[in-house]
């Protein structure tokens, strides 16, 4: 522990240290199935390091294989990859249009699924979105893609927005506290969780097996743009809400195909800062970070992002958890041009420059870009000026799209 804390303290001094360039001529990284993901973990005891010791075998395999993958590669994915396209150009995902391969990770959201206007009727737009999301998740799983869910839960008063900018001062001060056990809206929150549990429990593969998902509730909580943000609840209240969410889904509803992700934004500068609202190892499988801000601020920002991922990786290794860049991107629009080599050089080095403290292995298991829209994109399709930059990034030795992703839902023999 002393050595770990020393590394943590020293690492904070590397915030402004430069990222090294990676060797483009490196041989292709091959995943050796005989190498365990961590000295403490084996195929036999993997579940003991998870939130849910009764997780399904496919969910346990996903946890194990993400840890193993992170020694060699980072899986690349996108939010709403099969339904959100630049310039509304449908068909294959924009990633596949560019690279020829499906993404390795698909991001979805429970927002429309739990919306107050979702009445479960076939002609209801929100229910149609629910069916579309469920279909995408099932298709992704059938292909071997990793599924992850965020939840932009609308506030419990009028259920119209998840942004505090749309709330009154009183609503901001009381909304989060009200969903805690004993709070005025705890029953309301349980009903929302009931819906989430119902959907997850009915995500099944071709043989009737439950489809594993990664779920990251109350994300970007260190900021104050969402009603669960740092200005609107104490660290203890946040922990209690997160713990209640996990306990309710796992114990009360009996859902056993979830990995749970803890994902602040990028405000932290030390591991201690990062863990300020951490609900505990018994409640978290994935240590994540959402980071947009650092990755648009030139070399200083790239260096900060890299240092933060190193801190996150050390924390994940110490706890035998999965490390991930759970949300990121640089959006290109008509008024915001692309940055030269943003993917193939800048982001790749942020993810893979691990020189500090002899971290001579990859530690970030996956990276998720946000969704493309008609008017802007985070991932270029094959028609835009920086398409080749992303393709080069995706083809680098430590990057993984679906075409180089191992079987994630089976334990290695």
What sign has the CA pseudo-torsion 278, 282, 287, 292? negative
Residues with catalytic roles: 220, 327
**CA–CA distance, 328 with 196 (Å, rounded to integer):** 25
Helix (H, G, I), strand (E, B) or coil at 258: strand
**CA–CA distance, 200 with 210 (Å, rounded to integer):** 8
What is the 3-state composition of the chain as percent helix, strand, coil, each rounded to the nearest 5?
A: 40, 10, 45
Write the burial class of residue 83 (CB in 10 Å: 0-12 exposed, 13-18 middle, 19+ buried).
middle
What's the angle, vertex CA 397, arms to CA 394 and CA 403, rounded to 5? 55
**CA–CA distance, 283 with 217 (Å, rounded to integer):** 12
- DSSP letter for each residue of 22-90: P-TTPPPP---TTS-SSTT--TTTGGGGSS-TT--HHHHHHHHHHHHHTTT-EEEEEETTTT--GGG--
Closest among 217, 105, 206 to 151, alpha carbons compared? 217
Angle subtended by helix axes 298-319 and 2-11, to nearest 10: 170
**CA–CA distance, 237 with 320 (Å, rounded to integer):** 25
Identify whether the C-beta of residue 311 lies closer than 8 Å to the C-beta of residue 270. Answer: yes
**CA–CA distance, 262 with 280 (Å, rounded to integer):** 10
**CA–CA distance, 103 with 350 (Å, rounded to integer):** 20
**CA–CA distance, 312 with 8 (Å, rounded to integer):** 10
**CA–CA distance, 122 with 128 (Å, rounded to integer):** 7
Write the burial class of residue 186 (CB in 10 Å: 0-12 exposed, 13-18 middle, 19+ buried).
middle
CA distance between the termini of the chain? 34
């Amino acid at each position: 522990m002393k050595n770990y804390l020393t590394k943590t303290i020293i690492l904070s001094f590397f915030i402004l240290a430069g990222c090294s360039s990676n060797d483009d001529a490196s041989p292709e990284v091959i995943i050796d199935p005989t190498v365990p993901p961590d000295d403490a973990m084996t195929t036999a005891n993997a579940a003991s390091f998870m939130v849910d010791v009764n997780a399904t075998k496919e969910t346990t395999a996903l946890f194990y294989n993400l840890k193993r993958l992170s020694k060699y590669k980072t899986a690349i994915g996108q939010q709403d990859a099969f339904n959100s396209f630049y310039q509304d150009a449908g068909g294959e995902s924009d990633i596949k249009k560019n690279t020829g391969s499906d993404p390795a990770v698909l991001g979805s959201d429970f927002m429309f699924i739990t919306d107050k206007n979702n009445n479960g009727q076939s002609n209801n737009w929100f229910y149609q979105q629910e069916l579309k999301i469920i279909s995408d998740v099932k298709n992704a799983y059938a292909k071997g893609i990793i599924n992850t869910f965020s939840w932009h839960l609308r506030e419990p008063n009028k259920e119209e927005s998840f942004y505090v900018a749309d709330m009154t001062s009183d609503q901001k001060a009381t909304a989060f506290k009200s969903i805690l056990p004993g709070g005025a809206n705890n029953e309301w929150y349980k009903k929302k969780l009931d819906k989430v549990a119902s959907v997850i429990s009915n995500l099944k593969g071709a043989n009737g097996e439950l489809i594993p998902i990664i779920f990251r509730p109350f994300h970007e909580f260190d900021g104050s743009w969402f009603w669960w943000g740092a200005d609107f609840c104490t660290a203890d209240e946040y922990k209690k809400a997160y713990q209640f969410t996990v306990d309710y889904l796992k114990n009360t509803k009996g859902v056993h195909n979830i990995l749970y992700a803890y994902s602040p934004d990028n405000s932290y500068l030390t591991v201690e800062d990062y863990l300020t609202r951490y609900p505990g190892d018994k409640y978290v499988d994935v240590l994540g970070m959402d980071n947009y801000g650092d990755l648009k601020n030139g070399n200083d920002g790239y260096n900060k992002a890299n240092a933060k991922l190193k801190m996150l990786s050390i924390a994940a290794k110490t706890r035998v958890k999965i490390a991930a860049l759970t949300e990121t991107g640089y959006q290109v629009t008509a008024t915001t041009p692309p940055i030269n080599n943003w993917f193939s050089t800048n982001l790749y080095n942020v993810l893979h420059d691990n020189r500090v403290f002899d971290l001579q292995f990859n530690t970030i298991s996956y990276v998720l870009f946000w969704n493309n829209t008609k008017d802007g994109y985070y991932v270029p399709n094959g028609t835009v000026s920086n398409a080749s930059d992303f393709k080069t990034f995706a083809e680098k030795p430590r990057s993984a799209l679906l075409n180089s992703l191992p079987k994630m839902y089976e334990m290695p023999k």
